[in-house]
Amino acid sequence: MRTEAPHIRELTPRDPHRLAAAFAAVGWPGKSVAQYQRYLAEQRSGHRLVFLAEWEDQPLGYVCVLWHSDYAPFRNEGIPEIVDFNVLPAYRRRGVGTALMDAAEQTIAQRCDRAGLGCGLYADYGPALRLYLRRGYLPDGRGISYDRRTVEPGQSVRIDDSAALMLIKRLHPTPAW
């Protein structure tokens, strides 16, 4: 098992094919070359920042920062959102996710005092939710969201990847006085 930290860097034009191939190799659907090319365009425009984790030129996972969230409460409060956080299964529980989250939070902290993210609601998201809670993320207090909109009491929604609990972390401690 590797003990050194993964190398974390921004996404570059040589990465879309490599990332798509790595996720396709483990049967992970929806991770296309076109998606990563769009991410590069959004990174160039300043809308998104993508961090890639790798060891010896092998992609391990990535995470994105959206500077202007699609979730209205975050957008209205100027809270950047961490999205599309993925670590290939063979590299989980080896510090890759922690290194990616550290990079995202440190970058956000240069511009804002809070970071937000959404976590899915079914069992596949359990490890991610535990990671977020250990890192100090707390629910935003608005309940469940679906497709980036708050679910109203009595409303029925499908529990899929569009259903999420939105979480916030304060990146700069508030003085105790």
CA dihedral 95, 35, 66, 126 (to 10 degrees): -40
CA dihedral 13, 18, 21, 22 (to 10 degrees): -130
Q: Please list the alpha-helical segments (H only) found in the chain.
A: 15-25, 33-45, 72-77, 96-109, 126-134
pLDDT at 2 over 80: no
Query: Looking at the domain 7-170, which fold is it?
Result: Aminopeptidase (3.40.630)
Q: What is the mean pLDDT of residues 42-67?
A: 95
* 3-class state of residue 48 by DSSP: strand
pLDDT tens track for 74-133:
999 999 999 999 999 888 888 899 999 999 999 999 999 999 999 999 998 898 999 999
**What is the model's pLDDT at position 3?**
58
Name the pLDDT band for 143 (thresholds 50, 70, 90): very high
What's the rounded Cα separation, in Å, for the pair 34 and 20? 9
Using a pLDDT cut of 90, give the percent of the chain over it.
82
Nearest to 61 by CA among 8, 134, 138: 8
Nearest to 117 by CA among 99, 98, 103, 104: 104
Please state whether beta strands 138-146 and 149-150 pair in parallel, antiparallel, or not at all (unpaired).
Answer: antiparallel
**What is the model's pLDDT at position 21?**
94
Decide if 117 contacts 167 (C-beta within 8 A).
Answer: yes
**What is the model's pLDDT at position 176?**
56
pTM above 0.95, yes or no: no
